[in-house]
């Protein structure tokens, strides 16, 4: 009978660290949400005149610097996360609105209306503009926010006869989100006529053309 080798005992430091992590981990999603919400509010207050400091965000969240850097490597990383969070919320809203329609034209109209609605409310518009301004120049900046929204147009554009619905959706994203940016910077709300013009423009861009024309 060969002697058995005793299994190595877990290091005390590793055991304590693992226990500490396990006890604190459930609080981490709450910490991140507080930082995202506080960061968005501080960014809204600063507007496009000044960039917020980490100290201001931490104070608004009621957390410590340690808590901030536990989840984000920098303020830019938080701004990117705030933009991603807002994009996911808007995408969910657009998806819900588009589901109310049965025709591809109706789904496109709901999408355009939903995107441009970000400029229709003063508080929402101010927050959106400030976040986009702070995110400009980031690797995960405003350009990265367009793709998740544009993918919602793939199916409607295919149903409308687009020969390349993915590319057309991407181009529509540039067009409509570009228009949104203009409304935000001009501090103006899109009119019903302007919204319908954007819808008509997108429809004309993807519908099959008569080769004799």
Strands (E), the chain: none
pLDDT digits (tens, 9 = 90+) for 150-176: 999 999 999 999 999 999 999 999 999
Question: Is the CB of residue 179 less than 8 Å from the CB of residue 198?
Answer: yes
| Contact assessment for residue 131 and residue 43, using Cβ atoms and an 8 Å cutoff | yes
pLDDT, tens digit (0-9, with 9 covering 90-100), for 120-130: 999 999 999 99
Residues with Cβ < 8 Å from 30, sequence gap 6 or more? none
Assigned token pair, 153: 């147009």
CB-CB neighbours of 85 under 10 Å: 17
Q: What is the DSSP letter of 151?
A: G
Q: Which pTM value belongs to this model? A: 0.83
Decide if 130 contacts 47 (C-beta within 8 A): yes
Mean of per-residue pLDDT scores for the chain = 89
Q: What is the DSSP string of 119-153?
A: GTSHHHHHHHHHHHHHHTTSTTSHHHHHHHHHGGG
Domains of the chain by range and CATH?
10-72 (no CATH), 79-213 (1.10.357.10)
């Amino acid at each position: 009978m060969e002697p058995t080798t005793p299994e190595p005992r877990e290091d005390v430091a590793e055991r304590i660290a693992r226990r500490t992590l396990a006890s604190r981990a459930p609080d981490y999603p709450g910490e991140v949400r507080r930082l995202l919400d506080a960061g968005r509010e501080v960014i809204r207050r600063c507007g496009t005149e000044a960039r917020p400091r980490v100290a201001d965000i931490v104070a608004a969240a009621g957390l410590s610097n340690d808590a901030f850097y536990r989840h984000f490597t920098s303020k830019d990383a938080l701004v990117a996360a705030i933009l991603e969070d807002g994009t996911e919320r808007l995408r969910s809203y657009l998806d819900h609105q588009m589901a109310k329609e049965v025709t591809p034209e109706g789904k496109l109209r709901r999408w355009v209306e939903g995107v441009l609605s970000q400029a229709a409310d003063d508080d929402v518009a101010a927050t959106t503009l400030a976040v986009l301004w702070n995110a400009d120049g980031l690797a995960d900046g405003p350009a990265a926010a367009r793709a998740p929204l544009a993918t919602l147009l793939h199916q409607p554009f295919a149903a409308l006869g687009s020969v390349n619905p993915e590319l057309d959706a991407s181009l529509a994203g540039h067009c409509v989100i570009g228009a949104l940016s203009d409304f935000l910077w001009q501090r103006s709300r899109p009119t019903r006529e302007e919204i319908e013009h954007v819808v008509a423009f997108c429809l004309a861009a993807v519908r099959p053309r008569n080769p004799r024309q």
